[in-house]
Structure 1
Amino acid sequence: MPVSSGGQTIGEYEPRAYPQVIKYMGSKAQILDFVGDGLSAVSAHGRPLVDLFAGACAITAGFGDRFKVVSNDIQEYSSVIASTYLKRAESIGNFDLVALASVIAERNIAELPATMHYPATSTLASFNKIEKCNRSLLMKEFSTSHHLFTQIYSGTWWSAEQCIWIDAIREVLDGLYQDGHILKADFNFGLTCLLHAMAYTSQGTGHYAQYRDAKTVEGMADINKYRRTSVPVIFRRKFDLLLAWHLKHVVDLDHELVALDYRVCLGKIKKSVVYADPPYAFVHYSRFYHAMETLVRYDYPELQFMKDSVVKGRYRVDRHQSPFCIKTQVQGAFVDMFEGVKDSKSDLLLSYSNTGMINIDELIGLANNTFGRGYRVWFEEMNHTHMTMGRSKDRSRKVMESLIIAKKL
């Protein structure tokens, strides 16, 4: 059997294949073998793996059968997805969630005025009237317990009918969990499938920064294709496929699901291997994924206003602002990370791409200064295709992916 330079078998660091559930910019799903090489370089076997900025959970999913994983992200939707890869959902398969939700959804859809439904074909002018009618639900008073998506998002990334289905499935999951019919892992599994259905019925480009407007006949046709896509069909399909994988492959190795600021998380860990992939973009990731956070929290958030109108993106007032996305704060943010890793006597694997806010030489200098003589710091490189989630011209771009490694001596 092949052996790495650290004396461990290469197989110990091979990632498992896993089903992805959401569209996510900068996903590390394509570089898991590269990360596995980094784990081998620090002889990671036997220590917890801390996925510090888990996001869509590529690292958590890829190595969750080899390590005890501490999956952390300040955005709560990430821990829901991580649960699906790490915690066994033994009861959720006993329920037909779509059938249960259909009772709620069909009743609420029947109450929509005819002017909110999308025909297979229409003129551009009439289509935009339907869009406007859907968006008017933002000002409607609702008496039902679960109407968050119907009120906030109708006519944006989803139609009113699609939003009603999202709310209905969420209501069924809440009821089953609150009545003790399912456990937290089951609830998170169902919610993960709903996040998937959201992503693949959305008329956006794979994130939720801003929805598209129908400005041309061609654009209208593409938007309408998504408007008429069935939430329950997408949900059920993913549910069945994901559950089959889940029951076959998920083993709970005392994994931990955490939703903390990275500094707080580092302050709580024991000696581990920390994998960090902080958001380097100048635009905050919370701007792209706020709708997923709202589905998970389901807290009827206060929305941002500009000039007395709700902003087009329907952003939460309390959405997270990462210091890694702020030019004046990024150096201090990295120093805080390095100090947290050092304090716990852990090793660090830090992903870096050349689209970043800080150049790699500067970053390695910060690492060397912070870790000091007790650590060896170096980096490895590979070419990588970074997903941008653009609909057309710029769906992906080539970047140089680097892995900065800090190993305690």
Structure 2
Amino acid sequence: MAAPHAVVGVEGNSSESGLILSPDSSTGDVKRPQFGTRFLTDPRQVFQHNAWDNVEWTEEQEAAAKKKVLENSQPLPQEKQDDFDCRANEFWNDFYTIHENRFFKDRHWLFTEFPELAPKCGLNQESHPEGSGKDGGLLGGLDQEQSRDAAALLHTDGDFPGSSATYRILEVGCGVGNTVFPILKTNNDAGLFVYCCDFSSTAVELVKSNPEYDPERCFAFVHDMSDEEASHPVPDGTLDVIVLIFVLSALHPDKMQASISRLARLLKPGGVMLLRDYGRYDMAQLRFKKGRCLSDNFYVRGDGTRVYFFTQDELHEMFAEAGLEKVQNLVDRRLQVNRGKQLTMYRVWIQCKYRKPLVQPPEAQG
């Protein structure tokens, strides 16, 4: 295939539906069962459909992507970088004020890729496409009765939102509720409670003003995950699932590790952290021109918001440093097509699941 044409993409209006995953050969991850699979076997047919799954890159294509990134990698002066860092809240508030709900779609693919978000499935080993045992459930390795007992032992009484819940999900970087509302609409489990937070107060207000927002089942709050002094509305060790969808990439790289480590402490033993984010050489990265680079693989968009493009190894190292065990770390390479403009657009995303061990090492317990 020819070297990729690229168009700019931001998290809120990028196409995320119809997710199909292809494992990176260097990781040894087993390919998962697929759905809606569409392979491009004849390049002459590329414009017959809007998207093609599990696209393999040629050596020439990857070399061209690396060259493009290198050409535009001269970082901005430090004072300009500091200004974008200081005004990050302002830029994200402006983003949501301008766009509100116009470019956002519910992420219904989440329940296929992340069955942990469906509580009745979360403790059922057989419902997970990755199989049973240590890779296949929220409390992998426990049967349902043991899982209920563990949940009861881990239950923390206290006066905090959702303190009586038996299954707690937190989405960090919730935006206008693309993930939260599908979860609430899909699950009627009385024991479910969903927390959601965002750096932008404008986004949180949009969530709270949504007619589907139910304070009996959901708690939305403003939170800067990179702020070491910021507190959470729940105690450590009380969450079953933490969701990070295109949010870690918005942080300054120097703040990512501490942020992941703080979030990991909120998980119950056996709880999982779910991530989907931009991969290295995604079309959005290749679209950046000179003068937009902040540091290696970290850029500022025209609206002032920032984005980082990850490798699998980088994410694995951060999760492992936070004391979490890998369940999944896969690359999703997808070819999207603009038939009207006759353009091919190559997306690269990374999807991860990392679990907190059931038995914590002594240093983590201290």
TM category (shorter chain) comes to: 0.3 to 0.5
Higher share in helix: 1
Q: So what's the TM-score if we normalise by structure 2?
A: 0.33
What is the TM-score with the length of structure 1 in the denominator?
0.31
Larger radius of gyration: 1
